[in-house]
Amino acid sequence: MDLAGAVYQTTTSFPRDEVYGLVSQMRRAAVSIPSNIAEGYGRGGKDYARFVAIAYGSLLELETQTELARRFGFLNIDQEGHILSATAEIGRMLNALRASLRKTNPAP
């Protein structure tokens, strides 16, 4: 949730012509992470593991988009570092959750 807030705040300074481009992509990816975790938790069982995997994919998308934004000059190195630091931490948490869910619901 904090990462999504940071992405929303950071992308307000992007060029206006990026509102429907990179801004939209980054915001959707950032919102998708906690949304998929919540939806998967609500469904439970094997669906939970699947939605956590989707959330992880969105996290990787956001990391890529963040690097692109810096390369295009929309983010400075500190802004990029702040977002990537958060994505790294969330990535570790999601990997641990995925491992735990695999133990709980092993593949057939």
> The domain spanning residue 44 has which CATH number?
1.20.1440.60
Could you list the mean pLDDT of each consecutive 10-residue stretch along the chain, which spans 108 residues?
A: 97 94 97 98 93 98 98 96 98 96 72
Show the domain range for 35. 2-104
Q: What is the pLDDT of residue 43?
A: 95
Look at residue 69 in the predicted model and tell me its pLDDT: 97
pTM: 0.91
| Domain total of the chain | 1
Could you tell me if residue 45 is left (phi over 0), alpha (psi between -120 and 50 degrees) or otherwise beta? left
**CB-based contacts of 26: which residues, under 8 Å, 6+ apart?**
7, 11, 62, 65, 66, 69
- pLDDT value of residue 102: 86
Residue 20: the pLDDT is 92
